[in-house]
A and B are shown apart, each in its own frame.
Chain A
């Protein structure tokens, strides 16, 4: 093994013999590995489409999501593709703008949860067997057994103003534990590799070793944890919104469903109002779990096709 620390595959792949070194030295780039999975390709395209819609929301949506100047509770028509809600707002426009909230919550919540999981998991694993590990592992185990949704609900219920920031923060601090445990297990297997020992002898501090030397070898695990956390955050935001705990400053798919349920959309035959927001949410989450199939190929080369 020549360059260490730069290439995630070399460490997890089985020992290569001399003849194969030239091939093994140039591993496939991570994106081409992910792209090689048909499912992941579909997932990437669909999520890309959602991102495009979110970015171009003002061009796509015919009305502002808060514009309540239409006849309330209209069924779907040419003028209002998904009808209007109680407040006389265009549901289709709300749906288009809602993609911004879901993607933002996924991006920010996923990033924050992954960062917490990385720091806790890596430090605990690197310090395995010490007091630091005992404390961090205990905190992780506690966070793992406390039921997440009731805790999120309780935390959010107490705050008067519910911005996206609060919701993202609460989701992140309640949902990092599983990933942290995975990172801890992973670093324990990497910790005693030669390149780590070399770094230690050359006088690097533990934090530098953990985050600059070892972490780059865990790209695939980090990516998988991020996609997982982002998916969870999107689902949790929708769930909170359905309970009436959604962000007070933006329309999301969850708040659309909440309004539809509260207005008795189902009993009034306004089927599209309930059906479409849940469907776009389900398609997004399916696409994200498809991407994770591709990310799994990174960490487990045995799964690669061909």
Chain B
């Protein structure tokens, strides 16, 4: 019997375990297997293989039963995820349905999730800007949250490293709030976007309108062809999964790359319950899972563990990993685990018309758009709110037809639409401030279908966010006016936190183990062989999209982990 157990244990032992196969977990898998480690990737959802498991990717608009619209049944059953702009008839298979994975909203929070191999990397909008020193210095400057243990320089080479592999399109713009990267050719502007860019440059020295940086292969390099990926075809139906691998997803890129090493074991339908801590050894020895099909518990063992379940779920796993040594969650000597969660604020927007450039229009589609980097409170504190916001921007014309008539005239009108004028629009992407009162915790009684405590989420906007919304509306109105746009309308949709899908923090990085969970290598201060490199590790949120930074942090931490392991340090 004893021998059998040892055999079973040996069979379930790997060099490394990665929890989650989304954007960050995919990178952990690629880096660890690439460095020769036998790596087990545990993913709670089902397998989704590139191309063959994208059921709607080749469907024509008329082939959808409801031509894309959600049914009442789906909407009624899913009031939360139905609010997400990307959730429609062609994409619903990649989103978590409300009832399947319950959580508790202590305050309203729309938690948007993708539980499958690839996680949310199948669904994301692919905006990928580097963070700058202004972002990593933010907390030290204004005293909110704690100081980051790293600076831009620590991450810069790793940004380059992941950008080259993922394939990022953009311009080198030479803007200090938004460092340049390793770019493929940029997407094209249209004339009204160019007009706005000039108008803004003419009026403000410190405000820029640039072409968005996005994870699309505009010109495949050998490294992309080796991954089996091809040039982006501008279909703009990316969220259904792209058969060309035109955008970066774990499914098209990192996971198959890791598989090719022969070192990866991918185990879908494996819901991680907790990380096992061995008090005698003073280290984590493995992971406990609930098999989603059999509901049986099982254990797997490894020298190092990468936790990449996406920000809030990584908090959940740590909180649920209790032992005598860590009664309040793994590595939680500081008591900050689950606290100081922050997010992005996309509440506000603005739209307008432009009466110029009526002799020109656009042709084709573009899976990206212009971007306005942060310009508020950069060099000095100039407003009554902390930090700042970035913004998306785009212009376009829509065809319209007179639909008043009926009969043959109507038909004639419909088939001969007239081009309307130019419409312009923008939305804000604001940084929120991490606060102790914005937290997640485990509910003491309610369990999920796998017997794991449900996550309780208490996250809200504050006065700083409201002031920022107002400032965005005022400043953009001023910029739109300067560009000669008319019929300007601002909005604040008062959406719930969460819908912006950039939740971060809870297991933040920091220099001091008394006030943070992770050190500068994303290692738990107190359990050196556990690394957390998804959004949970973020000390503050910046105004830029976060996922590229998760990729860079993951690659950097994996490099460190393997070296440390070889030196016998972890």
A-B complex is real? no
Residues on A lying within 8 angstroms of B by beta carbon are: none
